[in-house]
Chains A and B, each alone.
Chain A
Amino acid sequence: MTLREIIKHLDAEVLLDNNQLDRDIKYAFAADLMSDVLSIDASEIILITGLANPQVIRTAEMSDISSILFVRGKRVTPEMTRLAEESGIALLRCRHSMFKSCGELYVAGLRPVF
């Protein structure tokens, strides 16, 4: 599934595309605990989170995660966008809850990491 399709499924907005919108994404991982994200082996995934601070971007950077979806319309600061831009990470945002976002994407075919 491409990020474009994810955007369509969730009526999400693109905060930063970083030329990632046509990238193929097979897996997703949802967490608000960044240590959980840092403990998984998979890269090339989309991170779904309700946490919005610079450490989310840093965590994705260290984990080779190239796209982040913020749920529940979380506010993304210019500092976060700047960090994501430097690291080539795309930022999306939707209004839905974490549960609904994950459910919609699961049904649409996105797979869990484990």
Chain B
Amino acid sequence: MNQTPRGLNRLLLAVIGLVLLATGVLALGLAAFPGLAGWWRRTTQGAGTAVENLLAATTLPGQRDSWLWIVLALLMLLVVLAMITWIAQQGKGRAGTLAADDVDDGGPGMVSLSGAAAEQALKAALAEREDILHVTVATYEYRGTPGLKVRVLPRKGVAPQDLAEDISAQVEALDLVLGRRIPVVVSIGASARSRLGRGDRVH
């Protein structure tokens, strides 16, 4: 549960993939079929003349080169900035505040609950268990709603449904403490330590 723009990722990956695919097909075709060379020469000849004319038309008197180069440079700068923004969107969504009392009841001040309070309470409760090797709890915001993401790495052979049941109980206890129900996502996974470590333990 984070704010990675998944639709945008798919869209941009598809566009970039298609462009690369088309370039590859073109290069492969030119290498494999010598008959295509004539068509390619004619097409690029036409495009080249058009670009030359455009460059000549946009060259200011007294200047050696067209001002289109500056436009191209600005365009490239924009694309680079867009790519940096795209990278920055990945995995975004960590939040600090879990809940805030935004009801204006006329009284001074407001109450806000830090995500760390719930994170540490849940983490401490789960870390005591023998069958769990590692717990991470983090607060994320998804569609404007803050929620908790719990990642649990249990020991090998632990029944996931029993673990889920116990975690549900802990989360319900947390609900009582916090006074409101927040979205919780629990992910039970395997780690290198649980893969290599001893699985058998008598409870």
Please say whether chains A and B are actual partners in one complex: no
Residues of chain B at the chain A interface (Cβ within 8 Å): none
Residues of chain A at the chain B interface (Cβ within 8 Å): none
